[in-house]
Amino acid sequence: MATKNTELVLTPPQPHWVGDGFRVHNFIPGGYRTDMARMNPFILLDYGARHFFPSSDTQPGVGVHPHRGFETVTIAYKGRVAHHDSAGNSGVIGEGDVQWMTAASGILHKEYHEKEFSLKGGEMQMVQLWVNLPARFKMSAPKYQSITNDQMSKFKLEGDNGIVEIIAGEYKNVKGSASTFSPVNLLNAKLNKGGKAGFSFPADFNTALLVIEGEITINNTGEVKTDNFALFLNEGEDFEIQTVEGAVVLVMSGENLNEPIASHGPFVMNTKQEILQAFDDYQKGKFGFLED
């Protein structure tokens, strides 16, 4: 099969704050050539690079807010985040864990630093992805998947290269832990010193990676440094990543939904009328209730 090469590599955009608890770099839709349509079904990528939070008696975070039309995927690399939603779900996302929340027809949500973490202080490092839903599923019932690291599917690479955690999709015939509404591959490649891993996705899937730790090369060319984002061309299927000193890399690839995107704030639908309906339903309390 043909090699899949990179289109571009992005350094982190200027950070901004989400609430008072999450300092993030927005790669999607903020990066060049990485708007919602270009990386669909991945329509938002906020990366909270390592940031130290001092001890606090309060719990920084984001207050109650609505979502409709997509899924939020929160991946914790460092720190601990607590959350609640209007469907009655709550819990803590610890280091190595993933929270996969399907907002779909509408949900209220809040997230903040877990109490003990906040009291002690420490480093926070997180990724939040928004995964678009196909039009026929946008008004389905909300649901929630909690994937702790010990439950996560893993593939041990040959030799001493490391492991690949399969959050969703498939790697080397090992199926991921999350169920999805369209073909989505979401993988953590955790490479040891001198490690390498190969990947293969359909040529027309939208594919990218984010270097969480360390530095890598792709197909033996060009360095991609810590906190940088690499977007692949929609050509070829196979690529390989390598590292000298070790690395953690988030790899994402998904089938383009090829449907219109209408978005405003926390709502992502297919038409402007559906966005207006989302605001109306939210104001009428149809997303449930959640205390701030």
Q: Is the peptide bond before 29 cis (omega within 30 degrees of 0)?
A: yes
Look at residue 222 in the predicted model and tell me its pLDDT: 86
CA distance 30 to 34: 7
Whole-prediction pTM: 0.97
* Per-domain boundaries in the chain: 6-254
CA atoms in the 13 A half-sphere facing the CB of 38? 17
Instruction: Tell me if residue 275 falls in helix, strand or coil.
Output: helix
Angle at 53 between CA 50 and CA 54, to 5 degrees: 145
Q: Distance of CA 198 to CAs 29, 33, 173, 210, Å?
A: 27, 25, 13, 15
What class is the 6-254 domain?
mainly beta
The residue behind tokens 């719990």 is: 59
Residue 270 tokens read as 């297919």
Q: Which residues contact 268 (CB under 8 A, 6 or more apart)?
A: 36, 43, 68, 69, 70, 130, 132, 261, 262
Q: Which two tokens stand for residue 230?
A: 């690499």
pLDDT of 35? 79
The predicted structure's pLDDT at residue 275? 98
Half-sphere CA count of 83, side-chain side, radius 13 A: 25
State residue 30's pLDDT score: 83
CA gap 283, 197 in Å, rounded? 48
Name residues of the chain where pLDDT drops below 70.
32-33
Query: What pLDDT is attached to residue 32?
Result: 67
Q: What is d(CA 107, CA 90) in angstroms, rounded to the nearest whole number?
A: 13
- Residue found under tokens 């383009």: 256
Q: Which residue has the tokens 């608890």?
A: 21
* H/E stretch holding 279: helix 272-283
The dihedrals phi and psi of 246, each to the nearest 5 degrees, come to: 110, 150
The pLDDT of residue 47 is 98
| Kind and range of the H or E run holding 17 | strand 16-18
